Each structure stands twice: as structure tokens, then as C-alpha cells.
Amino acid sequence: MLIALQTELQNWAQPQRAAVVSRYFRTGPGQYGEGDVFIGIPNPQLRQLAKKFLNLPPDDIHTLLNHPIHEYRFVALLILVGRFRQAGVQERREWCELYLANLPKVNNWDLVDVSARDILGEFLLTLDRSLLDQLAESGHLWSQRVAIIATQAFIRRGQFDDALRLAEYYLTHRHDLIHKASGWTLREIGRKNGSVLRTFLSRFAPQMPRTMLRYAIEHLPEAERFFYRNQR
């Protein structure tokens, strides 16, 4: 089954598109995606393949997660999300453990965003969430993004404390990709409960990184956006 999937992945490769995508995901020297390899497969095709090969064995998923080609890792995560959604309580733990064991390979923002909420976030819904703080304090960019994106599973249920805590912790983070993820998460809190977002903004807007603030206030009325932008 793994060979069949790899064959189909190669059949979908688009070298010209790969060059464009590589620049978009900053794969050059010193950039956040340095050394990542793309073969140019569009996401709709990757999602189609993930559905087709949903029953891929765990060992093969592990193999794909450790592959140097980005799209191989992306489709592996799509499959992992699909298997997690179908699983019972005990099996969900096993899928989440597989995810965490391979977390160093979840090493670009799209890989994080397609998996963190729907695997780690959903898994931690009824469990202790101190792991998120450990990831946030790890100093590892992608693990830190996993932590904040995972909280969106809680936000869906009206649970905001973990997201607010991490967003506050990231106020002094140096990387724009964390600012974007934090702002996006705050925006989702605002969609659920505007007063919670406004309380956060009233305390922290003056010190929020510009990108975090811009994303956080995106859905507020223009007058409020103007007000909070001018708090900095």
C-alpha cells in the first residue's frame, strides 16, 4: 500500500509548481523552511489521496512522516487526522502518541495547521493540558505553533483559558509565524465571545506584536480596529 501511495504522489508531482511553492514556504538558506523539499502537488490532490489510502498501516504513516518530501509528510498527517477521527478512546491515544513521537517532522506551518487542532487539541479536551505549556516553552518554533493551534479545539467548545494563557506568553516571541497563529487564535475567541477578546485587548493591545494584533482584531468593527491599532 505504501508503494502504491508513493507512486501516486510522484504521478501528481508538478516541478514548475514545486519551484513556486518552495519559495512560498521559505526553503532557502536561513529561512524557516530551510532544506524542505517540495514536488508541487496541490492540496486537493493530497486530500484525495489521503481518503483513498486512509487505511495505511501505522508503520507506513511513520515512514511517510519521516520522508524528506514535504507533500509526503502532509498526506501522512491528513491520514493520521482521518484515523484519529474514526478511533475510539484508547486508539486515539495511540494515534496521538504516534503524532507526538514524530512532532519534529511536523516542521512547517501548513503541517502544524492541518494537524494540531484535530489531533492534539481534540485528544486533550478531557485531559490535563500541561503538555501545551511544555511545547510553548520548548524553544522549538513548530512545537510552539502546535501548542497555540491545538487550543482551537477548546475554543470550539467555548473554552478559552489555555489559548489566552499561551497568547499572553507569546507576546514577546520573536517570530512572525507565532504572532500570526496567536492572532488567528484570538480572532477565533472573538468570534465565540467578543467580550473575552476585548478584555484581552484592553490589557495587552499596547504590547502586542503588530501581526498578532492585526489578526486578532480582523473581525471587529472598523472603529474598534482603529482604536486598538492606535494603542501601540
Count CA within 13 A, CB hemisphere, residue 11.
8
What DSSP state is assigned to residue 127?
A: S
Contact at 8 Å (CB) between 75 and 46?
A: yes
The pLDDT of residue 232 is above 90: no
Instruction: Give mean pLDDT, residues 195-219.
Output: 97
What residues does 37 pair with on adjacent strands?
Answer: 69
Mean pLDDT of the chain: 97
Contact at 8 Å (CB) between 152 and 187?
A: no
What DSSP state is assigned to residue 105?
A: G
How many Å apart are CA 31 and CA 29, to the nearest integer? 6
CA 105, 172, 196, 160: dihedral to nearest 10 degrees? 30
Cα 156 to Cα 15, 72, 151, 200, 219: the distances in Å are: 38, 29, 9, 18, 17
Per-residue pLDDT reduced to its tens digit, 162-173: 999 999 999 999
How many Å apart are CA 39 and CA 23, to the nearest integer? 12
C-alpha cell, 198: 476585548
Contact at 8 Å (CB) between 144 and 170?
A: yes
How many Å apart are CA 36 and CA 107, to the nearest integer? 9
Residue with cell 492606535: 230
Q: Indicate the pLDDT class of residue 6, thresholds 50, 70 and 90.
A: very high
Instruction: State residue 231's pLDDT score.
Output: 86
The pLDDT of residue 189 is above 80: yes
Burial classification of residue 215, based on how many CB atoms lie within 10 Å of its CB (0-12 exposed, 13-18 middle, 19 or more buried): buried
Q: What is the pTM of this model?
A: 0.95
Per-residue pLDDT reduced to its tens digit, 108-155: 999 999 999 999 999 999 999 999 999 999 999 999 999 999 999 999
User: Within 10 A of 55 (CB to CB), how many other CB atoms are there?
Assistant: 10
